[in-house]
Amino acid sequence: MQVTTRQETVSAVTDDLLSRMTLREKVGQMTQLTLQAISVGQNEKGDQVALDSVKLRKALVEDHVGSFLNVFNQAMSREQWRALIGEIQQVARSETRLGIPILYGIDAVHGCGYTTDATLYPQNLNLGATWNRELVREIGRETARELTQNGTFWNFSPVLDLGRHPMWSRFSETFGEDPFIVSELGSEYIRGLQETEQYIAGCAKHFIGYGQAPTGRDRTPTFIPQRILRQLYLPPFQEAIDVGVASIMVNSGEINGVPVHSNFALLSTLLREELCFNGVIISDWEDVQKLHTVHRVASDSKQAIQMAIDAGLDMSMTPFTTEFSQLLVELVESGSVTEERIDSSVRRILDLKFKCGLLQEIKAHSADDEEAGVGGKPVGRYGNRSPEISRTEKQDELSFRAAVESIVLLQNKNDILPLNPRARLLLKGPAADSLAMIHGAWSYTWQGADEAAYPDRLQTVRMALNQNFDVVDAEVDCDAVVVCIGEHPSVEKPGDIDELNLAADQQTIIAEAIETGKPVILVFFAGRPRMLSGIQEFVSAVFWAGQPGPFSGQALSAILSGQISPSGRLPFTFPHSGSVFFTHDHKWADKVGADYGVAQEYSMNGVRPAWEFGHGLSYSRFQYSRPDVAVSSESVSVSFSVTNTGQRAARENVLVFVRDHFASITPEVKRLAGFETRWLDAGESTKIDLKLPYEALSFISMANERIVEPGAFSVLVGGQEVEFVLTNICLASRREIT
């Protein structure tokens, strides 16, 4: 029997479909509408989600729309999701000429969001604090399992932007400030999402350079030199493409005066040609239109569409109208866009649908080659066909574990923690009784702020602590005050803020807690740092808890009571002041103090953090041996042992940094080069052998090439620094991104 490869089968199916499609059907596939565009209500308060059969048929049968996204401002049950998507698929399959199913996309940013009976996980920034690749991959897998049940096979996740500006309202969606951790965890998540039979197409976003505006505000202009774009912002996307990410969403903003949606150099020359990305490039929300209405590089909608198509876009999240496809037909008919250009996008979109298991039955309909191997069984995954599963203990357990591993203990004066399990606690602060503050955005609703949207089964921090401790009402009765502060969730434009200071009423709550004279334990629930303005000096312990999700309370309780030692480490630099921001990979000039000296330690006038990137305390102690560093022709081997010298089992996250002492472009003081996570029993030792590729020592030159210059370097690990020398090595053009 002749064996047909999966790729050949995909191509055969899509080529066959393409050859039978009209121009209008093709541009319809390139159009994505939001649910509101085909619904009865318009998402006003109290509106139930109900499809409008006239609008639905118009979108599918007349306008040939190929994809939908989103949800109303309310979560739905799994059954509602399946019924909704089943209804759309039914019309798409049986009433459209070619019967091509639609692909429904959703932002399952930290678990299968917008679904009442699914499990949510900590936000990405928290996952960054776990430094745990295996955990992130597992979360990707479990999210895929739940999305499959809903019939939403396209996930607009992971965010591969860098969290380098703490004012940015999407900081919590990033895995942290550093390109290496974002690359590593982002690619693990994609693997998890796309690797199982439950294949869910990932969407790496937002390509490229999003969130770096000097204003800190969402979608405001950014200035990024090509060299920096390649050094910092490109690697996570390169890695995502290397592991086969199915789609990429474009950054809504502009870089150096050019909106990314109209940037041929970024979308075609860089992304398609240089990075060899052959998946679907989708716009962000209404962003083609915004080339005209906001960015004003196009004088009308038609020119905006032409610019985006010329730049390399495959699909437009329009999301309310089909003007995109109507005007695109006109552009082709007038000869301004070729039909071949349209075909290349539609082929990629159909390939994506095939990967999601949506075209297998089409193939069976038309099939002369019905028996051809597809490299996996056809799954026929229409919304109303998926086998039923319920939220499992495994998923809840995973979410709990992720929450525990993501909480960072920043300060523990006199080892006040862990607490005696009989300790009586007074609980203060708005986050103690808020489900919204511990979840953050993209939860059951977009902004995540509506307390009523959270399912009854979830516990607040107060409810969870009550199960391990005696939670008292009066300060005279308590042994310690736990103050749960933070921020009310918000994201994107609604999340723009003017300053990083903690809200005044919350500062008052902390001050009142300090006045009780009892030990104060500050727990900080927010998807970024907020300024504590030195108040930490007057409290005993401080946690950055982030937004750990549904098991926040249980996780905090397990840590406070000492059942589990904290192990999280900051994936970002916690600034000392609300107006001076910097990252761990800052330059030496940043450190110059008032005496113009370059201090090794942080000085008053040089940059200094409240807590450094990678900081995080444990209840145990770990000792690192001096690293052995050996240079070979391919990599730098770093070997050392880590011993748990404390009294209790604990997890240790091992961070390895490198330092280039002198270079033709000012070198960073240090840069993250590797990380590992280990669970160690008391007294247990583990050997860590890392091979750092030369890339870890490389940088982008003025000629925009990735190079390594010979000279002196250091490895920094566990508070130790070991120097080594690279001789006669210059690896220009080592990786295809140069």
Catalytic residues: 284
**Both structure tokens of 611:** 């807590």
User: Which residues face 521 on adjacent strands?
Assistant: 482, 541
Pattern of binders to ligand BGC over 243-262, x per CB under 6 A? ---------x----------
**Which C-beta is closer to ligand BGC: that of 33 or that of 419?**
33
Tell me how far, at minimum, the Cβ of 264 lies from ligand BGC, in Å.
22
**Both structure tokens of 520:** 């104060």
**Which C-beta is closer to ligand BGC: that of 157 or that of 701?**
157
Tell me how far, at minimum, the Cβ of 600 lies from ligand BGC, in Å.
41
Q: Does 207 bind ligand BGC (CB under 6 A)?
A: no
Q: Does 156 bind ligand BGC (CB under 6 A)?
A: yes
Tell me how far, at minimum, the Cβ of 156 lies from ligand BGC, in Å.
4
User: Vertex 218, ends 435 and 497: CA angle to 5°?
Assistant: 60
Q: How far is CA 647 from CA 545, 620, 625, 678, 687, in A?
A: 24, 6, 19, 16, 20
**Which C-beta is closer to ligand BGC: that of 206 or that of 401?**
206
Tell me how far, at minimum, the Cβ of 369 lies from ligand BGC, in Å.
37
The helix (run of H) or strand (run of E) holding residue 63 is none
**Both structure tokens of 458:** 């979830």
**Which C-beta is closer to ligand BGC: that of 31 or that of 506?**
31
User: Which residues face 643 on adjacent strands?
Assistant: 623, 685
Residues 99-128 that bind ligand BGC (CB under 6 A): 107
Sequence-distant (6+) residues with CB within 8 A of 507 are 501, 533, 535
In whole angstroms, give the CA distance from residue 171 to residue 584. Answer: 16
* Strands of 256-342, DSSP E: 258-259, 280-282, 316-317
User: Vertex 105, ends 104 and 107: CA angle to 5°?
Assistant: 150
Q: How far is CA 479 from CA 255, 414, 517, in A?
A: 53, 15, 10
Q: How far is CA 171 from CA 140, 475, 495, in A?
A: 20, 36, 10
User: Could you give phi then psi for residue 426, rounded to 5 degrees?
Assistant: -100, 130
- Helix H segments across 443-498? 461-468
Tell me how far, at minimum, the Cβ of 261 lies from ligand BGC, in Å.
12
Residue 498: is it exposed, middle or buried by C-beta count within 10 angstroms (0-12/13-18/19+)?
exposed
**Which C-beta is closer to ligand BGC: that of 205 or that of 355?**
205
Q: Does 496 bind ligand BGC (CB under 6 A)?
A: no
Tell me how far, at minimum, the Cβ of 626 lies from ligand BGC, in Å.
45
* CA atoms in the 13 A half-sphere facing the CB of 226: 11
User: Vertex 156, ends 152 and 161: CA angle to 5°?
Assistant: 165
Q: Name the DSSP letter for residue 230.
A: I
**Which C-beta is closer to ligand BGC: that of 165 or that of 651?**
165
Residues 473-492 that bind ligand BGC (CB under 6 A): 492
Bond preceding residue 319 cis, omega within 30 of 0:
yes
Tell me how far, at minimum, the Cβ of 422 lies from ligand BGC, in Å.
47
Pairing of strands 628-631, 635-644: antiparallel
**Which C-beta is closer to ligand BGC: that of 71 or that of 465?**
71
User: Which residues face 719 on adjacent strands?
Assistant: none
**Which C-beta is closer to ligand BGC: that of 16 or that of 218?**
218
Going across the sheet that includes 203-207, the strands are 203-207, 247-250, 280-282
Residues 569-608 that bind ligand BGC (CB under 6 A): none
Distance of alpha carbon 401 from its chain centroid, rounded? Answer: 18
**Which C-beta is closer to ligand BGC: that of 70 or that of 183?**
70
Bond preceding residue 225 cis, omega within 30 of 0:
no
Tell me how far, at minimum, the Cβ of 571 lies from ligand BGC, in Å.
20
Q: How far is CA 129 from CA 304, 309, 536, in A?
A: 40, 39, 21
**Residue type present at position 45:** K
Nearest to 463 by CA among 434, 443, 487: 434
**Both structure tokens of 688:** 């860590």
**Which C-beta is closer to ligand BGC: that of 69 or that of 331?**
69
**Which C-beta is closer to ligand BGC: that of 71 or that of 407?**
71
Q: Name the DSSP letter for residue 595.
A: T
**Both structure tokens of 616:** 């995080």
Q: Does 70 bind ligand BGC (CB under 6 A)?
A: yes
**Residue type present at position 87:** E
Tell me how far, at minimum, the Cβ of 266 lies from ligand BGC, in Å.
17
Tell me how far, at minimum, the Cβ of 286 lies from ligand BGC, in Å.
8
Question: How many residues bind ligand BGC, per CB under 6 A?
Answer: 9
Pairing of strands 635-644, 685-693: antiparallel
Residue 727: is it exposed, middle or buried by C-beta count within 10 angstroms (0-12/13-18/19+)?
exposed
Q: Which of 82, 145, 205, 401 binds ligand BGC (CB under 6 A)?
A: 205
Tell me how far, at minimum, the Cβ of 546 lies from ligand BGC, in Å.
19
**Which C-beta is closer to ligand BGC: that of 288 or that of 407?**
288
Q: Which of 52, 264, 285, 378 binds ligand BGC (CB under 6 A)?
A: 285
Tell me how far, at minimum, the Cβ of 251 lies from ligand BGC, in Å.
9
Q: How many helices (H) and strands (E) does the chain have?
A: 20, 28
Long-range contacts of 268-275 (CB under 8 A, 24+ apart): 268/311, 268/312, 270/208, 270/234, 271/207, 271/237, 271/312, 272/312, 274/736, 274/737, 275/237, 275/238, 275/241, 275/736, 275/737
Q: Does 284 bind ligand BGC (CB under 6 A)?
A: yes
In whole angstroms, give the CA distance from residue 442 to residue 124. Answer: 11
**Which C-beta is closer to ligand BGC: that of 447 or that of 468?**
447
User: Vertex 396, ends 458 and 409: CA angle to 5°?
Assistant: 80
Residues making contact with ligand BGC (CB under 6 A) = 69-70, 107, 156, 205, 252, 284-285, 492
